[in-house]
Amino acid sequence: MYRIPFNIPHYTGNETKYLLEAAETGKISGNGLFTQKCHAFFENQLGYPKVLLTTSCTDALEMAAILCKIEPEDEVIVPSFTFVSTANAFILRGAKIVFVDSGKLNPNLDVNQLEKLITPKTKAIVVVHYAGVACDMDHIMTLAKKYGLLVIEDAAHSIDAFYKGRKLGTIGHLAAFSFHETKNIMSGEGGMLVINDKRFEQRAEIIWEKGTNRAAFQRGEVDKYNWQDVGSSFLPSELTAAVLFAQLEKLNDIQQKRIHIWNLYRKSLSNLETKGFIRLPHIPEHASNNGHLYYLICKSQQERDALIKYLAAHGIQAVFHYLPLHKSDFYLSVNSEHDLPNAEFFSQRIVRLPLFYSITDEMIAEVCDRVRSFFSR
Ligand SMILES: *Cc1c(COP(=O)(O)O)cnc(C)c1O
C-alpha cells in the first residue's frame, strides 16, 4: 500500500443522495431523470451542442465509428501514444489503423506528419488531447476539410479544457469523453459522446438505443418504436448518471483544486527543469491547462523506472503511461514493425505524479522533495 497513491476517487458529497433518489423513482434503467439532468447540464450550462451519456469513453468512440460509417478497408489515422480504445473502436468496424507519431514538445500527434499519411482510403482522423492539452485543431480541421475527412476528438482527458478559448470536444465532428474513476469528473465507469455536426444527431440517438427510435418514442414524438438501424446498448443506467450529476455540479470546485495542485507541482519542480534533470509538461499558447495529470519527462527509460522504484520505496505511487500502440502485440500480429520515435520517447520517459482532489500541499511537497532527492543522489 502506498501512503500517497497515484489516484483516490473524489466524492463531492451528493453521490449517495442522488443514488437513493434515482432508486426511489422506481426506474433505474437508462435515459431517465438523471441522464436528462446531465444532458441538460452539459448542453445548457457548459455549451456542448448535443450530448449522449454512454457507459464509457470506449463506447462513445465505438458509437463515433458507427456514425462515421467506417467500413473494412477504410483508413483511420490515430496517434500511437494513446489508450487502446482510441484505435480499437475503429478496428471493430474493420478499419485499417494508420498510426501517427507524437510531436517533439508534448505527446500530442505531430500535425506536420498528418498530410503525408492521408490516402484516398482515409476516412477519419482521431485526435487525442493528451493530459487535456489541446492539439492544433485549426491545422487538423483545415486538413480534414481539404480532404473531406471526419475528425473525432478523443477528449477523455479534456473536460474543461480549451483550444484558443473554444471548448475541447466541440471542434471535431464528434467527440468522446471519459468519466472513468481516474478522470477529473467520474462515475466509476462512464463516458459521453458529443455530436457537433447536426447530420449525426438523429442517427446517434438510434445507435445509442440498440438501433431503435426509443428515445423519440419516450419524448412522445412517435407512437411506437422499432428497429431502425444498427446499434448497441450504449446508454448508462440511472445509477451512473446520478453519480455523474453529483460530480458535474461540483465541476468548478474540482477544477480549481486540480489546477492548484498542478501549479504547485510546476512551481516546486521548475528548478529541476532549469538544471536540466527533467522536462516538465509543455503547454502551447493555443491550449489551456485543465489539471488532468502532472508528469515529468526523464532522460531515459532506466532513469524513469529507477525514479518510480525510488518513490515507491518511500510510499509514493508514480506511474508510467501508454505503451505505443504501433508496438503492441495485437498490432504487430498483423502489421510489420516500424518506428515512431517521439511516441516511443514519451512512452519510455513519462512518469505521472499523484494528482487527486484530497492530496494536500504537504503531500505534494513530500513528493517533490523525494523527486529532488532522487536527482541529487
Ligand atoms: C481513459 C481513456 C479512454 C477510455 O476511457 P473509458 O471511459 O475507460 O472507456 C480512452 N482514451 C483515452 C485517451 C483515455 O485516457
Total number of domains in the chain = 2
Which region holds residue 218: left if phi is over 0, alpha if psi is between -120 and 50, else beta? alpha
Type of residue at 326: H
| Whole-number pLDDT of residue 187 | 98
Task: Find the Cα–Cα–Cα–Cα dihedral 127, 130, 134, 136, rounded to 10°.
Answer: -50
Do 223 and 266 sit in the same domain of this protein? no
Do 22 and 148 sit in the same domain of this protein? yes
Model pLDDT for residues 210-259, shown as the tens digit of each residue: 999 999 999 999 999 999 999 999 999 999 999 999 999 999 999 999 99
Task: Write out the three cell numbers for 167.
Answer: 471548448
What gap in Å lies between CA 79 and CA 70, rounded to an integer? 18
Task: Write out the three cell numbers for 33.
Answer: 431523470
Q: How many Å lie between the centroid of ligand 1 and the Cα of residue 247?
A: 18
Q: Which residues contact 348 (CB under 8 A, 6 or more apart)?
A: 300, 301, 304
Q: How many Å lie between the centroid of ligand 1 and the Cα of residue 84?
A: 8
Do 214 and 296 sit in the same domain of this protein? no
Task: Write out the three cell numbers for 221.
Answer: 414524438
CB-based burial label for 119 (10 Å; 0-12, 13-18, 19+):
exposed
Q: How many Å lie between the centroid of ligand 1 and the Cα of residue 82?
A: 9
Q: How many Å lie between the centroid of ligand 1 and the Cα of residue 83?
A: 6
Looking at residue 184, which CATH number applies to its domain? 3.40.640.10
CB contact at 8 A, 4 and 361: no
Q: Could you identify the atom of ligand 1 that is nearest to the CA of residue 179?
A: 7
Do 137 and 261 sit in the same domain of this protein? no
What gap in Å lies between CA 238 and CA 27, rounded to an integer? 8
Do 236 and 296 sit in the same domain of this protein? no
Domain membership flag for residue 309 = yes
Do 31 and 95 sit in the same domain of this protein? yes
Do 257 and 200 sit in the same domain of this protein? no
CB contact at 8 A, 210 and 231: yes
Do 140 and 81 sit in the same domain of this protein? yes
What gap in Å lies between CA 233 and CA 287, rounded to an integer? 35
Closest residue to atom 15 of ligand 1, CA basis: 156
Domain membership flag for residue 6 = no
Q: Could you identify the atom of ligand 1 that is nearest to the CA of residue 190?
A: 7
Do 260 and 240 sit in the same domain of this protein? no
Q: Could you identify the atom of ligand 1 that is nearest to the CA of residue 128?
A: 13
Domain membership flag for residue 205 = yes
Domain membership flag for residue 2 = no
Q: Beta-carbon neighbour count of residue 336 at 10 Å?
A: 6
Q: Which residues contact 225 (CB under 8 A, 6 or more apart)?
A: 212, 213, 214, 216, 217
Instruction: Look at residues 248, 266, 285 and tell me which one is the last residue of a structural domain.
Output: 248
Distance of CA 364 to the CA centre of its chain: 24
Do 43 and 183 sit in the same domain of this protein? yes
Query: Whole domain around residue 268: which residue ranges?
Result: 251-376
Domain membership flag for residue 278 = yes
Q: Hey, what long-range contacts does 87-95 have (CB within 8 A, 24 or more apart)?
A: 87/126, 87/325, 88/58, 88/61, 89/58, 89/61, 89/62, 89/64, 89/65, 90/61, 90/65, 90/124, 90/126, 92/62, 92/65, 93/65, 93/66, 94/70, 95/65, 95/70, 95/71, 95/123
Pocket of ligand 1 (CB under 6 A): 56-58, 82-83, 85-86, 128, 154, 156-157, 178, 180, 191
Phi–psi pair at 216, nearest 5 degrees: -65, -40
Do 85 and 181 sit in the same domain of this protein? yes
In testing the pocket of ligand 1, which one of 178, 185, 293 has its CB within 8 Å of the most ligand atoms? 178
Domain membership flag for residue 72 = yes
CB contact at 8 A, 193 and 64: yes
Domain membership flag for residue 4 = no
Residue with cell 517521439: 342
Instruction: Look at residues 228, 248, 268 and tell me which one is the last residue of a structural domain.
Output: 248
Domain membership flag for residue 9 = no
In testing the pocket of ligand 1, which one of 6, 54, 58 has its CB within 8 Å of the most ligand atoms? 58
In testing the pocket of ligand 1, which one of 180, 244, 350 has its CB within 8 Å of the most ligand atoms? 180
Do 123 and 264 sit in the same domain of this protein? no
DSSP 342-372: HHHHHHHHEEEPP--TT--HHHHHHHHHHHH
Q: How many Å lie between the centroid of ligand 1 and the Cα of residue 214?
A: 27
Decide: helix, strand or coil at residue 170. Answer: coil
Looking at residue 302, which CATH number applies to its domain? 3.90.1150.10
Instruction: Look at residues 248, 267, 296 and tell me which one is the last residue of a structural domain.
Output: 248
Q: How many Å lie between the centroid of ligand 1 and the Cα of residue 85?
A: 7
Model pLDDT for residues 106-139, shown as the tens digit of each residue: 999 999 999 999 999 999 999 999 999 999 999 9
Residues of the chain with pLDDT under 50: none
